[in-house]
Structure 1
Amino acid sequence: MNDTQNETNLHVEWWIVRHGLTPWNVERRYQGHSDQKLLSGEASGLELLRKEIEEVSFSAIYCSDLSRCRDTLAYVRPDLQQVAICDDRLRELNFGEWEGQTYDMLKEDPLYRSWIDNPQEVTPPGGESWDQFRDRVTSVYRELMLLSHSLVAEEQNPVILIVTHGGVISMLSSILQPGLGFWDTKVPIGGILRHKIQL
């Protein structure tokens, strides 16, 4: 096999986890940057995830700095807490004044209705614009790609664990797979999405 073939066989896997269940998830409230804790124990819905990843050797671990993600990591892989890189760029979209509110509480607000119909053009009051969110996630994507190239030079088929939020998972997926829309990716709470990336 020649060098070109060797290079094309290099790959890294990103295992992207959505945090476990919080009280605001149950109440269907927008969480965004609000720092919600997980429901306790098995109520957080993480048992299957814990069994799925308990014996996986991860080359790097990234985690949103919000409690619901850090607590998810602590529950499913407590051995990785000390080596995880907690990064605020992995936070959910900042919903501003809408955080803590539900659809029913907001549905009569014309600005909210406009945002639902066209989130790329409308910004939640006191929150984060679509462009700001995309740029933030793109920044961490670029860092993860640099890390991926570095890791494959040192080990075979490394796996990176990323613990984050639903919106971030959708945005990362749309960056990784051109043509994939933001709304095309849906990962359940406590779920995992694997991306195999050829380098």
Structure 2
Amino acid sequence: MTVILLRHGRSTSNTAGTLAGRSLGVELDDRGHEQAALVADRLGSLPIEEVVRSPLQRCEQTVQPLSERRGLTPVVDDRLVEVDYGSWTGRTIKELLAEPLWKVVQQHPSAAVFPGGEGLAAVQARAVSAVREHDARLAEEYGRDVLWVACSHGDVIKSIVADAVGCHLDSFQRIVADPASISVIRYTTTRPFVVRTNDTGLDLSGLVAAPAKAESDAVPGGGSGM
């Protein structure tokens, strides 16, 4: 199975420089709506079988054009929701830089627990569990390779990619997930392969599954030595 991890488009909180978290009323700004339309153009021709999204409005708005084009009704999964930043929610990034916890979040995120909120290790656990469960469900349902989309948030996506690439959560800040970018993971019976990260390009034809061949651990689209 191949999952396209889609980060929501640029939001009003992104442009304001605040930590949105799970705040209500945070929606896409004008550029974010443009990005959502471009997502539909980029992904609309691919044989996507399902769209799963975070319950927050900015993710709902991001997948709407794509879902309409593909004739799909998105599945909402609370495990893909944004990090609960607790009392940090709504504060400016500039202000948070002065917090002692900020350095922990950047350098030792596996130990970071937001005051009144959740820890990043717990975020990774719930998000990876969600993606793997949907992936296994679709594999059983279709009995073949399936391409599907999971729309979520920056830190959530980065934690999923970190798990797939096999790096410790303490290194997840090295991964980038820009607004409206995609990161692609192919799960196999033995291990996942990270096919793309932070991709905002137009040519995604390489994500379409090739005709079935003998089962192999080789990287999709290339030899094991690549």
Please give the range of the TM-score, normalised by the shorter of the 2 chains: 0.7 to 0.9
1:44 to 1:118, Cα distance in 2 relative to 1, 3 A: farther
* Aligned partner of residue 176 in structure 2, secondary structure: coil
1:108 to 1:198, Cα distance in 2 relative to 1, 3 A: closer
Q: Which residue of 1 aligns with 2:80?
A: 90
Q: Which residue of 2 aligns with 1:160?
A: 148
Query: Which whole-Å deviations, capped at 9, do the CAs of 1:9-29 have from their partners, x for residues lacking one?
Result: xxx211111101111101221
TM-score between the two structures when normalised by the length of structure 1: 0.81
Is 2:64 the partner of 1:74? yes
Q: List alignment gaps of at least 5 residues for structure 2.
A: 190-226
Percentage of pairs with the same residue: 22
Is 2:103 the partner of 1:119? no
1:81 to 1:120, Cα distance in 2 relative to 1, 3 A: farther
Which whole-Å CA distance do the structure 1 matches of 2:114 and 2:175 have between them? 22
Which whole-Å CA distance do the structure 2 matches of 1:43 and 1:146 have between them? 32
TM-score between the two structures when normalised by the length of structure 2: 0.72
Is 2:46 the partner of 1:56? yes
Which whole-Å CA distance do the structure 1 matches of 2:23 and 2:185 have between them? 28
1:83 to 1:76, Cα distance in 2 relative to 1, 3 A: closer
Q: 2:120 corresponds to which letter in structure 1? A: W
1:179 to 1:148, Cα distance in 2 relative to 1, 3 A: farther
Q: Which residue of 1 aligns with 2:12?
A: 23
Give the number of aligned pairs: 186
After the TM superposition, which residues 95-114 of structure 1 pair with which residues of structure 2 at under 5 Å, given as runs? 95-114=85-104
Q: List alignment gaps of at least 5 residues for structure 1.
A: 1-11
Structure number with greater CO (CA < 8 Å, separation at least 6) is: 1
State the Cα distance separating 1:109 from its structure 2 match.
Answer: 2.8
Which whole-Å CA distance do the structure 2 matches of 1:84 and 1:99 have between them? 27
Question: Runs of 4 or more off by more than 3 Å in structure 1?
Answer: 40-44, 79-82, 111-117
State the Cα distance separating 1:151 from its structure 2 match.
Answer: 4.1
